[in-house]
Amino acid sequence: MNRKGDFQTDVSILGARIRQRRREIGVTQSELARRIGISASYLNLIEWNKRRIAGTLLRETAEALDLPLDELDGSSERRLAETLAEVAHFPALGALGIEDKRIGELIGRFPGWARGVAALARSERAALARANILSDRLSNDPFLGETVHRMLTRIAAIRSAAEIVTEYADLPADRRDRFNRIIHEESAALSEVGEALASYLDKAEEADPVLTPIDEVEAVFEARGNRFAEIEAAAGALTPQLTDPHPIPRRAKADALAEEKLGEVIDDVIMNRSRIATAAARARARRALVDYAAGAILMPMDTFATRSAELGYDIEALAASFSTDVEAVCHRLTALAGEGLPRFGYFRANAAGTIIEMIGLEGLAVPRYAAACPLWVLYRAQQSPEAVLRQRALFPSGARFVFVARARLAGPIGFGKPRHYLTDMLVMTEDDAARTVYAPDPSTFVEEVGPSCRLCPRRACGHRVEDPLSE
């Protein structure tokens, strides 16, 4: 199924949406035209779908209509459709006969129900992640392991002594006393272990309900569509201050400028414009936003959008063109937004295969607390450092993505020292990849991958290490 198919028509009714919204809030065509700086006749053409609208103009129109961009251009509906398509293909629901071809109709006729189902699916995923964390904690917690061992030892001593006292009728009085004392001593010790265990479990229950600071920060980026207009606006003016042509000092200067000149804007985003509950998450969000701001200074959005399109979104060519590194380019690509522009997600993994950063893409289900599918190119890029590897990935849901991964050296190097690599991976739908240098041709091998074994219905896969959750 073409998962975007149901909504491709939305782009062509963009004009109608603008017209409808304008009337809802009681603004005349000429007033709106004035506010967004175009002529009324041009706006009229847009409203009747005779002219396309995209980029900055679309954003300004959304602002003037007091509507989030994703609602105006239908991307929130597209995301909803993608979430519902995932639900339809969830292995546990396979037998229910969900009408996966009629998702568009469901959203159109019962938008509230559709959002409700999507919200339940999200909360189910969060609950699963939490259950995984807890079960990991139970099986790997050194305190629990040690405590259980101590309890069993105490119980063994009590049981053995108690059996001796009851089973050996001829036991001399002094030995009987001795074994009774052992039972007494060991019972007291066992109570202590029990109490320590109970108080430990109490503390574990009180732990913060939000999963981790990483989740909190990711939620902030997701809510903004990976784009922070206030930072973009302030960053552009700083770009001329980058005078050194070399990537490393250039990056250092951008970091310093972001910290120095954009600190206030960043703090305002964190304190007043997002819902972050913990200090750890605030610190993490600050680092992520300083990083974002440095990227915005190095690659101002207007220039970046134009040049990306010219260079076919080639991450290495862009890095060379902006005199920066591939990782910064990947980050920057996730902030690209606008009608007709491809959307990108980004993953970073270490040598252990842990995903240490993730800027998701709708429709790409990834377990945060379990390993993803080992067949992802993300995990084999470290076999050939610095090489850009492309993977054409087919998911069990039918969704097709193109993954572009490259491993790079991280940390200090020198003769005799170990070399550590991190892998950056850019992700895009196959439809979007068609507009990039990474476009697969029809003969490119299609790899059948999955989200992770627990979420993957491919029973026959030779790389399966766990049964699907639906079992």
**Least distance in angstroms from the C-beta of 171 to another protein:** 9
Nearer to another protein, 144 or 394 (CB): 144
C-alpha dihedral over 393, 399, 401, 407, to 10 degrees? -60
CB of 453 to another protein, least distance (A): 22
CB nearer another protein, residue 178 or residue 464: 178
In the complex, least distance from residue 432 CB atom to another protein, rounded to whole angstroms: 47
Work out the number of other CB atoms within 10 angstroms of the CB of residue 285.
23
Q: How far is the CB of 164 from another protein (least distance, A)?
A: 6
Q: Report the C-alpha gap between 292 and 306 in whole angstroms.
A: 19
Nearest distance from C-beta of residue 408 to another protein, angstroms: 37
Question: Is residue 76 classed exposed, middle or buried when 0-12, 13-18 and 19+ CB atoms within 10 A define those classes?
Answer: middle
- Looking at beta carbons only, is 172 or 418 nearer to another protein? 172
Q: In the bound complex, what is the minimum distance in angstroms from residue 139's beta carbon to another protein?
A: 11
Closer to another protein by Cβ: residue 145 or 411 = 145
Closer residue to another protein, CB minimum distance, 142 or 240: 142
Q: Are 408 and 424 within 8 A, CB to CB?
A: yes
Q: How far is the CB of 463 from another protein (least distance, A)?
A: 24
Buried b / exposed e along 114-149 (16+ C-beta atoms within 10 A): bbebbeebeeebeebbeeeeeeeeeeeeeebeebee
Q: Choose between 164 and 439: whose C-beta lies nearer to another protein.
A: 164
Burial category of 199 from C-beta neighbours within 10 Å (exposed 0-12, middle 13-18, buried 19 and up): exposed
- The strand pairing partners of 402, in sequence order, are 392, 428
Choose between 141 and 255: whose C-beta lies nearer to another protein.
141
In 3D, which of 324, 332, 374 has the Cα closest to residue 349?
374
Is 2 or 166 the residue whose CB approaches another protein more closely?
A: 166
Neighbours of 276 (CB within 10 A): 22
Give the count of beta carbons closer than 10 Å to the beta carbon of residue 80: 22
Closest contact distance (angstroms) between CB of 97 and another protein is 41
Strands 355-359 and 389-394: what pairing? Answer: unpaired
Which residue number, 155 or 439, has a Cβ lying nearer to another protein? 155
Residue among 45 and 155 whose Cβ is closer to another protein: 155
Per CB under 8 A, residues contacting another protein are 148-149, 152-153, 155-161, 163-164, 167-168, 175, 178-179, 182, 185-186
Distance of closest approach, residue 146 Cβ to another protein, in angstroms = 10
Shortest Å distance, C-beta 181 to another protein: 9
Please, is 443 exposed, middle or buried when counting C-beta atoms within 10 Å of its C-beta (0-12, 13-18, 19+)? exposed
Least gap, CB of 410 to another protein (angstroms)? 33
Using the minimum distance from each CB to another protein, give the nearer residue, 162 or 461. 162
Q: Report whether 89 contacts 100 (CB < 8 A).
A: yes
